[in-house]
């Protein structure tokens, strides 16, 4: 338990939560010991929180004390997660215990039938594709996968897909269109893979073609950024009728570190924080800009604290969207999808005549 705790609490800002949980644990241990008539001496191994307070509480008051600690814990967790800085949000989005595409498939879907390979070069494990059932809907699931074990992470290039990944995604999506199956894509990538082979095999072309073709697929497409939405690598599977972000996901044109390295000339804690803020990459910001249509709430304290509950919330949103888009004709879908992206952008527009007059 304590071993998993140390890897679970890797975020600085979660320290108050960890301290409270340890206090509760210690109080419960003392209560248990008191009721068994034994006495606890010393501090349990691994605990670093200040537990003197607990020792001062008389055994009779312990149950009440535990209750108040628990109330304080949920309040603290809620407050911390309601007020995450953009850079801390990025950290939560990258949390090693945060559910990934394969986890969500397991939680949300029945009868997942994985389909591999792009039929041209290979099978990129960084993008998972396959048929699945969500609620009463048959869908094609497409999602970035980062990998859980070291071995899996390396095979998946930490969620950075190669051209064959994007081509696999498109091939399966075009098949889904053929059979009238709606598409659900789960976005979770730091960005498309920057490497020799990726460039040689046309990384840019693969993404560009996905953007063009997804815009005219005559089947419903629903996208959710479940963790990291890193630039073109994310957008490459996110041209959809409805786009949402999970509450603690990020979505932007570049990672905060990449942006800091270029515009602040150096990437460190301070510049990353500033870049994350400047990029307006949180779910709330992207909702405000019209880049996403909805924010899918996460359980209090983030999806990593309760993956099953996160999956329930995600599933509910996907099912509701599938219901809304069901029965809309293919032509209407692509016309609306076009308008959805067509209107994005911010610029000043003067009348052509005014420009001409100024020139005279």
Partner 1 sequence: MTQVAARTWTEVRAAKKSPIPEGLWLRCPSCGQMIYRKQMEANLHVCPECQHHFRIGAAERVKQLADTGTFQPMFTNLAPTDPLHFKDLKSYADRLLAEQVKTGQVDAVVSGQAFIKGRPAMVCSLDLTFMMGSMGSVVGETITRTIEHATQAGLPLIIVSCSGGARMQESGLSLMQMAKTSAALARFDDAKGLFISVLTDPTTGGVTASFSMLGDVIIAEPKALIGFAGPRVIQQTIRQELPEGFQRSEFLLQSGIIDRIVKRQDLRSELARIIDYAGK
Nearest to 179 by CA among 238, 219, 223, 237: 219
294-296 and 242-246 beta bridge pairing: parallel
Q: Whole-angstrom Cα distance, residue 238 to residue 186? A: 8
Q: Whole-angstrom Cα distance, residue 247 to residue 83? A: 12
CB of 209 to partner 1, least distance (A): 7
Quick count: other Cβ atoms within 10 Å of Cβ 112? Answer: 15
> Of 79 and 216, which has the nearer Cβ to partner 1?
216
User: What Rg value do the Cα atoms of the chain yield, rounded?
Assistant: 24
Concatenating the DSSP letter of every residue in 308-338 gives HHHHHHHHHHHHHHHHHHTT--HHHHHHHHH
CB of 78 to partner 1, least distance (A): 27
Is residue 18 within 8 Å of 9, Cβ to Cβ?
Answer: yes
Hunting for tokens 């490459």 — which residue is that? 236
> Of 135 and 257, which has the nearer Cβ to partner 1?
257
Is residue 253 within 8 Å of 274, Cβ to Cβ?
Answer: no
Point out which residues bind partner 1 (CB under 8 A).
192-196, 198-205, 207-209, 211-213, 215-216, 231-232, 235-236, 239, 251-254, 258-259, 262-265, 274-275, 278-281, 285-286, 289, 291, 337-338, 341-342, 344-352, 354-356, 358-360
Task: Copy the structure tokens of residue 168.
Answer: 């696999």
CB of 148 to partner 1, least distance (A): 22
> Of 180 and 195, which has the nearer Cβ to partner 1?
195
Concatenating the DSSP letter of every residue in 2-36 gives HHHHHHH---GGGHHHHHHHHHHHHHHHHHHHHHH
> Of 137 and 341, which has the nearer Cβ to partner 1?
341
SS3 127: strand
CB of 186 to partner 1, least distance (A): 18
Q: Whole-angstrom Cα distance, residue 354 to residue 37? A: 89
Concatenating the DSSP letter of every residue in 197-226 gives HHHHTTHHHHHHHHHHHHTT-SS-EEEEEE
CB of 247 to partner 1, least distance (A): 17
CB of 10 to partner 1, least distance (A): 24
> Of 154 and 262, which has the nearer Cβ to partner 1?
262
> Of 56 and 344, which has the nearer Cβ to partner 1?
344
> Of 77 and 252, which has the nearer Cβ to partner 1?
252
CB of 98 to partner 1, least distance (A): 21
CB of 212 to partner 1, least distance (A): 4
Nearest to 77 by CA among 298, 258, 244, 252: 298
Largest separation between any pair of C-alpha atoms in the chain? 96
Hunting for tokens 């009728």 — which residue is that? 241
> Of 18 and 280, which has the nearer Cβ to partner 1?
280
> Of 42 and 345, which has the nearer Cβ to partner 1?
345
CB of 48 to partner 1, least distance (A): 36
């Amino acid at each position: 338990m304590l071993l998993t705790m140390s890897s679970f609490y890797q975020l600085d800002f979660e320290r108050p939560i960890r301290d409270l949980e340890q206090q509760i644990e210690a109080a419960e241990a003392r209560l248990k010991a008191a009721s068994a008539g034994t006495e606890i001496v010393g501090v349990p191994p691994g605990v670093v929180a200040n537990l003197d307070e607990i020792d001062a509480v008389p055994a009779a008051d312990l149950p009440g004390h535990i209750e108040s600690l628990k109330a304080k814990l949920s309040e603290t967790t809620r407050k911390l997660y309601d007020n995450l800085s953009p850079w801390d949000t990025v950290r939560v989005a990258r949390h090693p215990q945060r559910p990934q595409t394969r986890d969500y498939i397991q939680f949300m879907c029945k009868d997942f039938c994985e389909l591999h390979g792009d039929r041209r070069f290979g099978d990129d494990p960084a993008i998972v594709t396959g048929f699945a059932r969500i609620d009463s809907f048959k869908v094609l699931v497409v999602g970035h996968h980062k990998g859980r074990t070291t071995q899996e992470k390396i095979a998946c290039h930490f969620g950075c897909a190669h051209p064959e990944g994007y081509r696999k995604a498109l091939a399966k999506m075009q098949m889904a269109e053929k059979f009238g199956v709606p598409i659900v894509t789960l976005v979770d990538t730091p960005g498309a893979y920057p490497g020799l082979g990726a460039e040689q095999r046309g990384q840019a072309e693969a993404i560009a073609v996905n953007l063009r073709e997804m815009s005219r697929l005559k089947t419903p497409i629903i996208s959710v950024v479940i963790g990291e939405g890193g630039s073109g690598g994310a957008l490459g599977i996110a041209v959809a009728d409805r786009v949402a972000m999970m509450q603690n996901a990020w979505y932007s044109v570049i990672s905060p570190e990449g942006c800091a390295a270029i515009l602040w000339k150096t990437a460190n804690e301070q510049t990353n924080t500033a870049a994350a803020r400047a990029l307006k990459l949180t779910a709330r910001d992207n909702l405000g800009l019209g880049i996403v249509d909805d924010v899918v709430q996460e359980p209090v304290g983030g999806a990593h604290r309760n993956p099953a509950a996160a999956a329930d919330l995600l599933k509910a949103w996907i099912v509701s969207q599938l219901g809304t888009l069901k029965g809309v004709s293919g032509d209407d879908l692509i016309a609306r999808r076009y308008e959805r992206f067509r209107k994005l952008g911010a610029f000043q527009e003067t009348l052509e005549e005014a420009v001409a007059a100024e020139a005279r």
